[in-house]
Amino acid sequence: MKLDVLRPGWDQLQEEGIVNAEGARLFRSDGSSLLDAAGQFGVNAIGFGRKDIADVIAETIWKRSHLSPTLQCPERIALAEVLKQKWLHPNLDRVHFVNSGSEANEAAIRLARHYHYLRGKRTKWKIISREYSYHGTTMGALSMTTNAFRRKGLEPYLAEMPVVPSCYCAEGESENSVNKALDALRATIESHGADSIAAMIVEPIGASSSGATASPPEYWQEVEELCRQHDILLISDEVVTGFGRTGSRMGYDQAGFVPDIISMAKGLTGGYGALGAVSGRGEIFEVLEAGGLPLFYHTLGGNPPACAAAFENLKVIEEENLLDRVDDMGSRLGELLRPLRFQKGVKDVRGVGMLWAVEVEPLPGLDIKPSALIVKKGIEKGVFYWPGGVSEDHNIICFAPPFTVSEEDLIRMVVVLEDVISELYL
């Protein structure tokens, strides 16, 4: 049976599939392996095949395979406490568990809407998002997403939300880019009216849709101030950037702002369980509870084995000093990738920590995007990359390998990409 979710260029994985995985390697049924440069995009933090995590999951399944999210249990309590004590800003003192990043962003916009609604500000419902964003596949999250490919055909179901430019600063353009982006944000707030805007959602460092784009601290400081000034909640989408991916505990730490609400998933469990979460200022949750509109639950939200996996995953990151390793190996990855800027067909190389992107030029006449073709050829050469971008002319190859990846494997990932690009852009 063929899956209907594979991207163009992944044909050769249809029949063989992946039967095993260890460290940064995926193994096919014929015994061959793929280096996972993508970390299944940004999910795999501590590497595949950790028996210590598997043992904790097995033990928890025997005790509590599932409990209604309305019931408390040791795994949920322990995970919420470690998040508040070691990972989140002190202002973010409440946690609600869901199953995925899309659900976390749905919960975030429900929090924002009901917070204003119950305070008597019932005209505040719009969510400002930024160009080149991706916040999930559920309809609310997709309404805040500007990735045209993911929205295609679903437009009738999506709410129209205000969109402002992102603020990616190329070399020498920082002040100009920041001013233009902030002017556009101010104009959007004025044209829509602050009394109609509930929140602004941002990726503190862009993920696959934009390709590891970052904005300078002065941009984020002004965004935070504008949101405070107009009673607009600031939501940080940490689905990719959370839990060390950028070299900081959370992406907002790296960017230099303090959000009102954050969404989390991916690196929370490192792929060892299906789990997402939303956290926010206690006042926001208290307003909902006082008004009788608490966040609604999904059946498997906060699944005990998944919470146990997340707790152990975060413990490994701490005990094995993997944040320091992200800094070291992320710097090395940047050193390896930057020379590709001078290669024919490459538009840009950018990134931070273990989140990097190589943007390539369009190639007219192909039946698939250049990024998809690069992924296909990478698989043939034994490396799995992740394609990004928001349109046919926006071609990005993403790097988000496990924090535990070896330098030898990083070199291999970059050398293969260099070879593939050379073949494609003769």
14 pLDDT more than 70: no
The domains of the chain are located at 12-49+321-424, 52-319
Q: In the structure encoding, which two tokens stand for residue 377, read together?
A: 């050829």
Q: Show the tokens assigned to 157.
A: 């179901």
pLDDT score at 9:
61
Q: Please provide the CATH number assigned to the domain covering 12-49+321-424.
A: 3.90.1150.10
Instruction: Give the pLDDT mean for 8-29.
Output: 80
- What are the Cα distances from residue 58, in Å, to 48, 154, 273, 304? 16, 40, 12, 11
* pTM listed for this prediction: 0.95
- Tens of pLDDT, residues 199-220: 999 999 999 888 999 999 999 9
Grade residue 426 by pLDDT with cuts at 50, 70 and 90.
confident
CATH architecture of 52-319: 3-Layer(aba) Sandwich (3.40)
What does pLDDT average to over the chain? 93
Segment (H or E) for 40 = helix 39-42
Q: Is the pLDDT of residue 12 over 70?
A: no
CB atoms within 10 A of CB 304: 22
284 vs 151 pLDDT, higher one: 284
151 pLDDT more than 60: yes
Specify the 3-state DSSP secondary structure of 152.
coil
Q: How far is CA 94 from CA 5, 73, 275, 285, 393, in A?
A: 35, 16, 16, 7, 41
Q: If pLDDT is split at 50, 70 and 90, which confidence band does 338 have?
A: very high
| Type of residue numbered 25 | R
Q: Are 288 and 114 in contact (CB under 8 A)?
A: yes
Cα separation, 113 vs 109, whole angstroms: 6
**Per-residue model confidence (pLDDT) at position 216:** 92
> Judging by DSSP bridges, how do beta strands 346-352 and 276-281 pair with one another?
unpaired
At 147 the pLDDT is 77
- 15 close to 3: Cβ distance less than 8 angstroms: no
**Residue 8 has what pLDDT?**
63
Residue 4 has pLDDT above 60, yes or no: no
**Which residues face 22 on adjacent strands?**
25
- pLDDT tens-digit map of 358-395: 999 998 888 889 999 999 999 999 999 999 888 778 89
**Could you give the CA distance from residue 271 to residue 310 in angstroms, rounded to a whole number?**
9
- With a cut of 60, say whether residue 6 has pLDDT above it: no
